Amino acid sequence: TFVIGAACVDVMDRACVDECPVDCIYVGERMAYINPDECIDCSACEPVCPVEAIATVEELAPEDAPFVTENARFFSEPLPGRTEPLGSPGGAADVGPIGVDTPFVQSYVAP
């Protein structure tokens, strides 16, 4: 499973969004999130990120460990201001920018 880590926060370049063949990278407010149920592990997103924010769970830097949970939580729990979880919409372009982050990412401060 590929995950987007802390380096994306407040950068959100979105090159990865354009690259993903199944359109499973969703845009929040400060960062983007990979839907773990929709990602087919093709790895196309990994090399295009200018800040190298994307890695597999296994290769992720230890300090990025919380972002594994946040990538999943973005879809599995209702986001701030919403009553239903996003779930698996089946394509980021169809739903458009989500415009909100998980509470952890909302208050994230880089170390």
How many residues bind ligand F3S (CB under 6 A)? The answer is: 27
CA distance 53 to 35: 15
Strand partners, 33: 26
- Binding track over 17-56 against ligand F3S, x by CB under 6 A: --xx-x-xx------x-x----xxxxxxx---x-x-xx--
CA distance 111 to 109: 6
CA distance 3 to 72: 9
Q: Does 60 bind ligand F3S (CB under 6 A)?
A: no
Cβ proximity to ligand F3S, 43 vs 69, nearer residue = 43
Closest approach of ligand F3S to the CB of residue 66, in Å: 16
Q: Is the dihedral of CA 70, 39, 56, 10 positive or negative?
A: negative
Q: Which residues here bind ligand F3S, judged by CB under 6 A?
A: 2, 4, 8, 11-16, 19-20, 22, 24-25, 32, 34, 39-45, 49, 51, 53-54
